[in-house]
Amino acid sequence: MRVRGRAWKYGDNIDTDVIIPARYLNTSDPKELAKHVLEDLDPEFRSKMKPGDIIVAGENFGCGSSREHAPLAIKAAGVSCVIAKSFARIFYRNAINIGLPILEAPQAVDRIETGDELEVDFSSGEIRNLTKGEVYRANPFPDFIMEIIKAGGLVEWAKRRLKG
């Protein structure tokens, strides 16, 4: 499974309040939530990003509230993947549970800049920076996590297994 898109780079400790502020939590509709994703951090992100684009960030991405609205908003906006140096614990589980691919790759984050064209191969953990002509490695997902992401999340994955 591969994705390709431009990088949007941010710093450390991107919290769930800036990913999707509580003032927009009057709905669980992912499309509605996606309209405001990262609005308080980068007001231009939503209007300028294209489907497939990739968020790249520093340490502790997704810290703060347990709101699953945060990875839902990112996924529904069309972001294909989040690459960070590290993820906050609840966000990490939430992202996989709803089928948003996330990768920990500290060296990649140090090198990537906003606007770089990236290609990510989830099965090998390889991140190609097509703009800079560089290749970085992330730890690939264990098979069962890859299956959950491919299924579109833990609920769909569990449903299929119950049926099978």
Partner 1 sequence: MTLVGKLLNAKPGEAVIRKVDLVYAHDGTMPLIIEAFNRIFNEVRTRAYIFFDHVYPAPTVKVANLHREIREFAKIHGIPVVEGKGISHQLVVELGLAEEAKIIVGGDSHTPTLGALGVFAVGMGATDVAIALGLGKIWLKVPESIAVLLDGSPREYIMASDVMIHLITSLKDREMSYNAIEFFNVPFSFDERLTLTNFSVEANAKTAIIGEEYEGGGYSDEITIELDSLPPMVAKPFSPANGVSVEDVEGTKIDQVFIGSCTNGRFEQIKRAAEILDGEQVNVRTLVAPASINVYRRMIEEGLVRILIDAGVVILPPGCGPCLGRHMGVAGDNEVILSTTNRNFRGRMGSPKAEIYLASPVTAAVSALYGEITNPEGEL
Residues that bind partner 1 (CB under 8 A): 13, 15, 17-18, 21-23, 25-28, 39-41, 60, 63-69, 72, 86-91, 93-94, 97-98, 153-156, 158-159, 162
CB of residue 91 to partner 1, shortest distance in Å: 8
Q: Please answer whether residues 61 and 32 qualify as being in contact, where contact means their C-beta atoms are separated by less than 8 angstroms.
A: no
For partner 1, give the closer residue by CB, 48 or 161: 161
- DSSP string over 13-70: --BHHHHS-GGGTT---HHHHHTTTTTTT-TTHHHH--TT-EEEE-TTBTBS---THH
Residue 30 or 52 with smaller CB distance to partner 1: 30
Task: Name the minimum Å distance from CB 22 to partner 1.
Answer: 4
Residue nearer to partner 1 on the CB measure, 59 or 134: 59
Q: Two tokens at 96?
A: 């996989």
What is the DSSP pairing of strand 134-137 with strand 2-9?
Answer: unpaired
